[in-house]
């Protein structure tokens, strides 16, 4: 349980920053601003996942009577190499949801 608590606590700030940047990207119609904001959001979320995973493994290893899998540190390395994929999917889903909500709102007010 220690791993999940630390992971979610550390990941909260990068996740929030990614959501804000993705909202900014979805709120504009300029493609260069969208690309810049989405790239920054993916990068922030990616680095946040790598840091959160590393710190969570360290907390799990420091806990009393850690399980044997606490010393399998391949997860931070995997996230460092391939973390852009879940980060990109997360930002794409948030971007799509905001764009759909924005179009529904515009249609409902008649703009």
Cα first-last separation, the chain: 49
- 54: its two tokens: 């590393």
CA distances from 29 to 43, 107, 109 (A): 21, 17, 19
For residue 68, pLDDT over 80 is answered with no
Q: What is the pLDDT of residue 83?
A: 86
Q: Tens digits of per-residue pLDDT, 20-32?
A: 999 999 999 899 9
Q: What's the CA gap between 101 and 111, in Å, rounded?
A: 14
What pLDDT, on a 0 to 100 scale, did the predictor assign at position 41?
96
**Residue-range domain boundaries for the chain:** 2-109
Q: Which residues contact 77 (CB under 8 A, 6 or more apart)?
A: none
Q: What is the pLDDT of residues 15-67, one digit of tens each?
A: 999 999 999 999 998 999 999 999 999 999 999 998 888 888 888 888 888 87
pLDDT of residue 1: 64
**Can you give the pLDDT at residue 106?**
87
């Amino acid at each position: 349980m220690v791993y999940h608590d630390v992971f979610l606590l550390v990941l909260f700030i990068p996740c929030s920053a990614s959501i804000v940047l993705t909202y900014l990207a979805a709120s504009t119609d300029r493609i260069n601003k969208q690309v810049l904001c989405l790239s920054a959001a993916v990068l922030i979320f990616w680095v946040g996942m790598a840091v959160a995973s590393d710190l969570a493994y360290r907390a799990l290893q420091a806990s009393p009577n850690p399980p044997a899998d606490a010393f399998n540190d391949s997860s931070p390395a995997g996230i460092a190499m391939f973390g852009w994929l879940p980060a990109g999917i997360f930002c794409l889903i948030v971007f799509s949801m905001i764009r759909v909500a924005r179009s529904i709102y515009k249609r409902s007010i008649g703009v």
